[in-house]
Structure 1
Amino acid sequence: MRVTIVTFGSHGDVRPYVALSLGLKRSGHEVRLASWDSEQEFVSSFGVEFVSMEWNEPTTIPEWISIFGLLTNTINSTIYSYHNIKNGLLDELWRVCQGAEAIIFNGTSFPCYYIAEKLGIPCYAAPMQTYHQTRAFPSAAMTDGKPLGSIYNWLSHPFFNQFFWQSVRQTINQWRKETLNLPPLPFWKGVVHQMQEQKIPFLYGYSPYFLPKPSEWTDDFIHITGYWYLDTSETWQPPNNLMNFLSAGPAPIYISQIWHRERLGKEMVLKLLALTGQRIIVQGLDDDLCDIDLTDKLFYIKGLIPHEWLFPKMALVIHHGGLGTTMSSLRAGVPVIAIPIHLLTDQAFWVLQLANLGLGIPLILQQNEQLSAERLAEAIKIAINDNAMQDRVAEISKKIQDENGVQQAVEAFNQHLPSNQHQNPIKF
């Protein structure tokens, strides 16, 4: 079968879908992946056919929406999608899906659902965020990382679904009429509501041990498969200076480049070294860190190092709370300090889950708040010395290591295919 996977966002929004592509290819399907042109070299290096999406993504979000507090993420996400849709995304999705016999799409590519309707082919939502209603947790777009109770959780999902739908409904319906020759959709039906009515399969790419399937999700078309890891360490060679640093002392702390170009600099790192007594690896922040003569205490990384290779060698990982890095940390059996930094993403949602399970320490910053070295150092000391937390991380690590999220996703994909469409030798 000819399968088109459509995903765009950060590099972390592409990696798991490459892993899924490889799994589907091993299952006998012909797969191509559509994303931004900047991902072509990376995707193609795994032997996955790449289709470039040729449109300019809007990157600016008005600063004034920060006054809305908890709703900031909701409004940000809605504005982001609205501008994408107004800026040519719909026609570009229609172009890259031509020739497909099945479509898999991430959350930002949701209009592919309507394209599949027009083409009369199976489609699958494959998000890294939750969308179905439950009392167990809030909508990923309506949380600041702090628990607000089951009633709020329950109401947040339909609220966001309707809020989002009303912002794009007119444009979607005009496109359905003019390009897809389909009838308009009703005022009251949000995107997720529509998919549920049609029983569109959802392949949630995170671990059920990290976020279990809620009791309200009884439909058999909702699957929590486990994370789709793309391991690259088998062919990667670590530099000698990194190996020398790792062998020169106890396991260090790793600080991701995602946290934070503006909030973590030379002064902060030197303070952390003094306050914690821990060795530190910093990835890709200030260039002047390279000039610090602390070769046994501090190591500076530029470029990407496979998490599956590096994280098991760490005592603690400090990052932004994104799902991919969170799952890699837990898989490695390493506690986390998570500091969400982006109001457009689901970072705060996953940080909330880390805190609920006692697998890490959340540091939730207010808008424009500067995190002090003292506060971060105190969190480091707690995480390093919390034996109960480390035991919980070790326990979930064993379970996650035994998962095969890609295999589970491929099995779910095949399960929902019409019986006569499991394979097709015709080429794109």
Structure 2
Amino acid sequence: MRIQIVTAGTYGSVAPYTGLGHRLMAEGHQVEIVTHAKFADSVACCGLGMRPLVADPFEGLLAVQAGSRSRSAPRAAYESGRASREAATALVDAILEAVDEKADLILLSTLAAPIGTVVAEYHRVPSAGVFLQPEEPTAAFPPCVLRRRGESPVNRWLGRAVNAGFDLLYAEANRRLHARLGLPRRGTAQLRRRRCGTLWPVWHGISPTVVPRPVDWRPGLHMSGYWWPHTCERWSPPAELADFLDAGPAPVLIGFGSMMPRPAEELGDIALRALRRAGLRGVVQSGWAGLSVATDDVITVGAVPHDWLMPRTAAVVHHAGAGTTAAGLRAGVPAVPVPVLTDQPWWSSRLVGLGVAPGVLPHAGLDSDRLAAALTEATTNPSYRSRAAALAAAIAREDGSGEVVRGLAGWSR
């Protein structure tokens, strides 16, 4: 089959699909990833086709969210909502231009699905969801934009309320989309009901060991297991990093990916002071925040594959994005989550519930004392390492990409 995978957002919203796409390609399919041009090298390294989305509105959205620290809560919420609506609207033209009407199947991420399903239907191409977060309401847990808590019927109501809000963010984009295609307009809530009523299939790139499939989900929703990013065959570790790892005990990895919870200088100072107080070595990933810390016991690096670096660490401090959370669990190392926004508090709570993290450190209250205490607990209490190792062993037995391949085996144009 000729398959397109359409995804938008940060690197964490793209990397898992390189592994899924590579597995589909190995099964004989022709696979093309549709995403932002800045990720072209990551896609090309996998041997996959690449078609760029013309618009990349998410850097602006992240900049707005990073600047929210200096605004009042109501103003920050307003600016974030406005930027989200603008980002969704910008995706309309981008997806319309990028979707291949001759494709046999279009796979859509969470952010691409509200637009991509309409475009695929217009071209009479089958589509399915490939989501990195659970979106369907359930009593088992609250929606992933809220902090995780126990099972309750209230969770299902909260899930519906959050989805209604998500649909509102796409309302203007949906109007533009239907106008561009010359279609009678259907509301975003109506389109969601249609996806549910037709049992539109969704595979979730999440380990069922980490998040078991809720028993009250409708048919067609699958918890397949993780899709691991495909590491470029040409990659090799920087000599300076390899020498640092060999020169002493396993360090702590500190990185926040595309998040900017504090100015780089302030965040770097917190990290350095915490590592010194905990008596630990550190590897700091610069990320979008531009962190830079360098001493005899701390090294700063750029992008390094998680599957190579994380197993060589004593613990990982991260923002608890879906992909980074998965990578840490795969590596079998304790976590210190510092969530910033969207689904990150949800995943952070899950890490604590799984017994691999001593607690959640909200970014607003992060300081060197709290971080040092959490690092000391994570690296000296053997229960976290033991539980992380057990989870990693269970996850290693799963085949998330294979589950999708087998599930799609019956699809045809």
* Alpha-carbon separation, structure 1, partners of 2:221 and 2:2: 23
Q: Could you say which residue in structure 2 is the equivalent of 1:335?
A: 334
* Alpha-carbon separation, structure 1, partners of 2:335 and 2:232: 21
Deviations 1:281-309 (A, max 9, x none): 1122767633x3x2xx22222x2111111
Mapped pair 1:244 → 2:243: yes
* Alpha-carbon separation, structure 2, partners of 1:97 and 1:148: 40
Are 2:85 and 2:172, in contact at CA under 8 Å, matched by a contact in 1? no
* Alpha-carbon separation, structure 2, partners of 1:157 and 1:76: 23
Are 1:261 and 1:286, in contact at CA under 8 Å, matched by a contact in 2? no
Structure-to-structure mapping, 1:377-416, within 5 angstroms = 377-415=372-410
Q: Could you say which residue in structure 2 is the equivalent of 1:316?
A: 315
Are 1:329 and 1:336, in contact at CA under 8 Å, matched by a contact in 2? yes
Structure-to-structure mapping, 1:275-314, within 5 angstroms = 275-284=277-286, 289-290=293-294, 292=295, 294=296, 297-301=297-301, 303-314=302-313
Deviations 1:163-191 (A, max 9, x none): 23244335524532x3334333258x355
* Alpha-carbon separation, structure 1, partners of 2:74 and 2:193: 26
Deviations 1:54-95 (A, max 9, x none): 1251614484986359x95xx7775444212433x2132122
Q: Could you tell me the TM-score, scaled by structure 2's length? A: 0.88
Deviations 1:247-302 (A, max 9, x none): 22221111115375526545324422331111111122767633x3x2xx22222x
Are 1:161 and 1:191, in contact at CA under 8 Å, matched by a contact in 2? no
Gaps of 5+ in 2: none
Q: Could you say which residue in structure 2 is the equivalent of 1:96?
A: 98
Q: Could you say which residue in structure 2 is the equivalent of 1:23?
A: 23
User: Could you tell me how far 1:363 is from its partner in structure 2?
Assistant: 2.6
Gaps of 5+ in 1: 422-428
SS at match of 1:321: coil
Are 1:338 and 1:361, in contact at CA under 8 Å, matched by a contact in 2? no
CA change 1:28–1:244 in 2 (3 A) is closer
Mapped pair 1:359 → 2:366: no
CA change 1:23–1:372 in 2 (3 A) is same
Structure-to-structure mapping, 1:18-417, within 5 angstroms = 18-57=18-57, 59-60=60-61, 61=64, 63=68, 67=73, 79-87=82-90, 89-98=91-100, 99-110=102-113, 111-141=115-145, 143=146, 145=147, 147=149, 150-169=152-171, 171-173=173-175, 175-176=177-178, 178-185=179-186, 189=189, 191-219=191-219, 221-232=220-231, 235-258=234-257, 262=263, 264-284=266-286, 289-290=293-294, 292=295, 294=296, 297-301=297-301, 303-341=302-340, 343=341, 345-365=342-362, 369-415=364-410, 417=411
Structure number with greater Rg is 1
* Alpha-carbon separation, structure 2, partners of 1:230 and 1:91: 28
CA change 1:67–1:150 in 2 (3 A) is farther
SS at match of 1:360: coil
Are 1:132 and 1:217, in contact at CA under 8 Å, matched by a contact in 2? yes
Deviations 1:107-138 (A, max 9, x none): 11121111122122210111111111111111
Deviations 1:126-151 (A, max 9, x none): 1111111111111123x1x3537624
User: Could you tell me how far 1:161 is from its partner in structure 2?
Assistant: 1.7
Are 1:173 and 1:183, in contact at CA under 8 Å, matched by a contact in 2? no
Q: Could you say which residue in structure 2 is the equivalent of 1:424?
A: none
Are 2:355 and 2:384, in contact at CA under 8 Å, matched by a contact in 1? yes
User: Could you tell me how far 1:25 is from its partner in structure 2?
Assistant: 1.4
* Alpha-carbon separation, structure 2, partners of 1:257 and 1:131: 24
Moved more, 2-11 or 281-290: 281-290
Deviations 1:24-52 (A, max 9, x none): 11222212111111112221222111111
User: Could you tell me how far 1:397 is from its partner in structure 2?
Assistant: 0.4
Are 2:207 and 2:224, in contact at CA under 8 Å, matched by a contact in 1? yes
Alpha-carbon RMSD across the aligned residues, in angstroms, is 2.7
* Alpha-carbon separation, structure 1, partners of 2:72 and 2:393: 40
**Percent identity between the two aligned chains:** 28
* Alpha-carbon separation, structure 1, partners of 2:190 and 2:345: 23
Are 1:331 and 1:397, in contact at CA under 8 Å, matched by a contact in 2? yes
